[in-house]
Chain A
Amino acid sequence: MNLRDTPDEAAFRGELRAWLQDNLPEELRAHRGGAGRFEELGRAWSRKLYDAGYVGLTWPREYGGAGAPYSHQAIFLEELARSEAPQHIGVIGLGMAGPTIIAHGTDEQKSAHLQRILSAEEIWCQGFSEPEAGSDLASLKTRAELDGDAFVVNGQKVWSSFAHIADFCLLLTRTDADPAKHRGLTYLLVDMRSAGVEVRPLRQITGEGEFNEIFFTDVRVPRANVLGEVGSGWGVAMTTLLHERGTLGFALTAALEVAVRKLIALAKERRVDEGLRERVAREWIELQALRYTNYRALTKLMQTGVPGPEGSIAKLHWSESNQRLTKLALEILDTEAQLLDGGGHGEGYWQFQQLRSRGNTIEAGTSEILRNIVAERVLGLPRSR
């Protein structure tokens, strides 16, 4: 057991920190995302990260990655968050599309996409959820019917981040109306510029738009764009979801760390009473619990190559911590909690964070589904359905 950086890790951290200091444009620092000019800046920023060799750290070298240990990825996410730099704009491509293509893709698919995902030339989105298929993903209805050398896709997807700027979509479709619903699904890589694709942004309770609906009307997708086998889409989709929750814990800890640091600054500035001080301390303790649970998971991942159950635990714990923490910040703002320019930490920072946090227990697996996963796969309790 040694919780300190190894000399190699420290050197990586030191170089990265200096690089961020020199290269992060001031207008991107602490930017909370959204549309418009940010996309342009975000692409340029992602390209800069790529050129400096910080993208795809754990990807194999043959696919353009750095082949570095997972600890470097953890350090990268920590330092990126600490400098309040935005993430690479292609998070879906890096975290989900890339690993799934590496696992299931043909050589043609790998050479067509992997390098372009790393360099942010290709932005990806995910087409899994539907209006009638949320947590019960396997009940999805978007149809893909073979017509010659292409599948013809009809249906609707929802909650799709980045779809409004995406070049490609990870699309899960039904190719067989087999009543055994996990069978008969096929995973397609869809060019978002195909005829018949329409994206409509959804406005969130924060007032901003991160998610979209995607409508597919007679969209022709070449047969060569099937990922895995026709009818084996469920297994391929599980690879995607495993990666979604795989190293997610580190990004979440890093984001929570920034929030706790700001919460402490707010509590100091407002000279809060003993009761609130104790609650601030609690959030710091919960952050460290999350951090060290991730470190345990990281050690296991580096020793065995297989992610443990900590990913689901981290997501559950982080989402609830972030909700509690942001509400605590508003309570510290007290009677001024409604004022969008009274927080002293940027306009409406805490108000935005608090509202945004309500999505945390829904996105990337609702807390209810995650508890089912832990109950069944980690604790071995009998299946509930």
Chain B
Amino acid sequence: MDFAFTDEQELLRSQARSFLAERRSLEAVAEREGSFEPGSWQELAELGWTGVSVSEEEGGAGLGFLEEAVIFEELGRVLYPGPYFSTIALALPALAGHAALLQRVAAGELTATLAHAEAAGPRRLADTGGLATEARQDGAAWTLAGEKVLVPDLGSAGTVVVTARSGGGVGLWSVEGGAREPVETMDSTRPYGVLRLDGAPASLLVEPGSGEEALAQIRTRALAALALEAVGVGEAANALAIEHASSREQFGRAIGVYQAVSHSVVDGYVGVELARSLAYWAAWCVAEGDEQAAVAAAAAKAHAAEAAVAACERSIQVHGGIGFTWEHVLHRLYKRAQWIQAFEGFAPVLRREVASALLDVSEEESTELVQQETPVQQEVA
């Protein structure tokens, strides 16, 4: 039993933290009104962050999700407004086996996102019912037709991974064309877009018929990534609350001496620490390909999003009027926490999914989930 990051992973964290504090701080993000600065992506690539899990032959670092987990959390703390979540969590798994694309992602030359939801069709990655976007094959060439909504970071994406249906079932294709329409979002650091495809040329990524399985894997990874981001967001909100409660004086004393204030700050902190434990657990499950990964990721995202939202709300309250102003950074954290909360469903939706895993199975299976019995480590030779 060893539930800590390795020294190398901790080193990655401290490097990330000092780089971001200097170059991409929360305050700097706020000054730019949360807009994406394309030049920043190349900086991330130079640090090796865009190729963390890409193999060394394909120009990456050949590491795994635990290293990416560190980056997701640290980027969450500063609300990095670039398409890291979209490219690394949503699109990258679909590019597996396509060396040229992986190389470009690792090199920082290509950003990407995933387009799945449809206005009259599925809204969540967990659902493909009613998927209407059509893929047509003409010789070796594919074209796609349909309309996708709720596409994260569509505006900045170099390529878009699109789910569509062909005769063989649901598959995934990449598309560079199509008409893109930005949609304003509460959280300006991660806008959505609408993608209209009218016979746009497409490259096949995941064979028709294998799309659901690929989506399920992407979803688990994305939920874990969002839980980690939420931990970063919540921690940032808590740090601001602690600082304010320690320095702001009223009635001649720092307001943190009043328990109505300090206990609320403690509850924000406790919530995020518990969420951190769940998020790291989910990250480990994803990295290991553990069979509990899907339920762990759903649980972690449900809990962490709520904890981050609550931490932001407590922090706003502790700050008083200043926390309610546009100039203060808190509302930006709050809006990101809410973005995370809404993606793939609010906590009750995810908890109903967890309930199914617990209650609609045999006693043996639910006991396994309750007791978290894991197979024994293999002895290292």
Contact = CB atoms under 8 A, between A and B. Distances in A.
Contacts of B296: 288
B265 A1 contact: no
Contacts of A265: 363
B1 A6 contact: yes
Interface string B131-166: 000000000000000000000000000000000000
B27 interface: no
A298 B374 contact: no
Interface stretch (B171-179, B208-216, B350-358): B350-358
Contact of B371 (A9, A10, A257, A267): A257
Given A371-B266, A382-B254, A261 B370 contact: yes
A1 B66 contact: yes
B251 interface: no
Contact of A381 (B256, B303, B367, B374): B256
B376 A292 contact: no
A289 B278 contact: yes
Contacts of B303: 285-286, 289
A124 interface: no
B381 interface: no
Contact of B354 (A274, A285, A372, A374): A285
Interface string A279-290: 011101111111
Nearest to B367: A261
Contacts of A335: none
Contacts of B6: 1
A4 B275 contact: no
B374 A5 contact: yes
B376 A7 contact: yes
B257 interface: yes
A286 B246 CA distance: 30
Nearest to A381: B256
Given A1-B284, A261-B367, A292-B277, A278 B266 contact: no
B265 A379 contact: yes
B25 interface: no
A293 interface: yes
Interface string A353-385: 000000000000000100110110011111110
A277 B281 contact: no
A317 B1 contact: no
A82 interface: yes
A252 B173 CA distance: 49
Given A257-B370, A375-B265, A379-B269, A368 B4 contact: no
Contact of B256 (A78, A261, A375): A375
A74 B3 CA distance: 14
Given A289-B275, A371-B263, A384-B258, A71 B355 contact: no
- Give the secondary structure class of A's interface: helix
Contacts of B245: 381
B5 interface: yes
A75 to B, nearest CB: 9
A298 B280 contact: no
A382 B257 contact: yes
A300 B302 CA distance: 26
B262 A381 contact: yes
Interface in B1-37: 1-6
A9 B242 contact: no
Given A1-B4, A265-B363, A295-B1, A280 B256 contact: no
Interface in A1-58: 1-7, 9-10
B274 interface: yes
A82 B368 CA distance: 12
A209 to B, nearest CB: 32
A179 B367 CA distance: 56
Contacts of A3: 1-3, 281, 284, 372, 374
Contacts of A368: 259, 263
A313 interface: yes
Contacts of B270: 313, 316-317, 374
A21 B107 CA distance: 57
A115 to B, nearest CB: 30
Nearest to B254: A382
Nearest to B369: A284
Interface in B49-81: 66
A288 B299 contact: yes
B278 A288 contact: yes
A309 to B, nearest CB: 9
B370 A287 contact: yes
Contact of A260 (B273, B302, B352, B370): B370
B3 A5 contact: no
Contacts of B366: 261, 264, 268
Given A264-B366, A375-B266, A280 B358 contact: yes
A10 B376 CA distance: 6
A285 B278 contact: yes
A251 to B, nearest CB: 15
B64 to A, nearest CB: 10
Nearest to A367: B263
A282 B3 contact: no
Contacts of B367: 261
Given A313-B274, A384-B262, A264 B1 contact: no
Contacts of B253: 382
A111 B286 CA distance: 51
Contact of B257 (A268, A288, A371, A383): A383
B320 interface: no
A157 interface: no
B359 interface: yes
Contacts of A288: 277-278, 281, 296, 299, 372
Q: Which 4 A-B pairs have the closest CB atoms?
A: A292-B277, A381-B256, A281-B355, A289-B274
7 contacts: A4-B374, A5-B1, A257-B370, A264-B366, A264-B370, A296-B277, A380-B246
Interface of B: 1-6, 66, 242, 245-246, 253-254, 256-259, 262-263, 265-267, 269-270, 273-278, 280-281, 284, 287, 296, 299, 302-303, 348, 351-352, 354-355, 358-359, 363, 366-367, 369-372, 374-377, 379
Given A82-B371, A293-B273, 13 more contacts: A1-B5, A1-B66, A2-B377, A7-B377, A261-B371, A281-B358, A284-B370, A288-B278, A289-B275, A289-B277, A292-B278, A300-B4, A379-B265
